[in-house]
Amino acid sequence: MEKLTFRYAQEQDCEKILFLIRELAKYEKMEDDVIATPELLREWIFEKKKAEVIFPMEDGKEVGYALFFHNFSTFLGRAGMYLEDLFIMPQYRGKGYGKATLKELARIAVQRGCGRLEWSCLDWNKPSIDLYLSLGAEAMDEWTVYRLTGDTLRKMAGELDA
């Protein structure tokens, strides 16, 4: 593995973050779902501080990104970290950068006193699943993710007529 370093994203990185989000969306065949803009990323990541981004860096160049935020476990009585996105550009894969990025996230979580690091993975993404299992991560098969978005979310909030 080349010498890999990490840096936290800064406000001026919003275009770069959005580029990488779009690359991830291409990989996941979800390009049409990306409605984020640099302005939205700036507001929610840097002004409202609702998420953080680190870049794995090879020779001073960003080779991917990880976007994460804190959640809370009532059972553990402490915060955890939720990894929303982990993406390594295709030309940099196979060098151990995904594993190294997960190790860096684990280091951050432990340093911050978090009780867990968790994430979701598309069930067809076998290369990533194999990596996660090789690191000792456990699939939470007994849990199902539910989601409200768009008009359904607004309807639930009482902002739209049923």
The catalytic residues are 132
Could you list the beta-strand ranges (E) of 1-133: 4-8, 52-58, 61-62, 64-73, 78-88, 117-119
Interatomic CA distance for residues 109 and 120, integer angstroms: 17
Of 62, 120, 110, nearest to 129 by C-alpha is 120
For the chain, the helix, strand and coil percentages under 3-state DSSP, each to the nearest 5: 40, 25, 35
Cβ atoms 79, 112 nearer than 8 A: yes
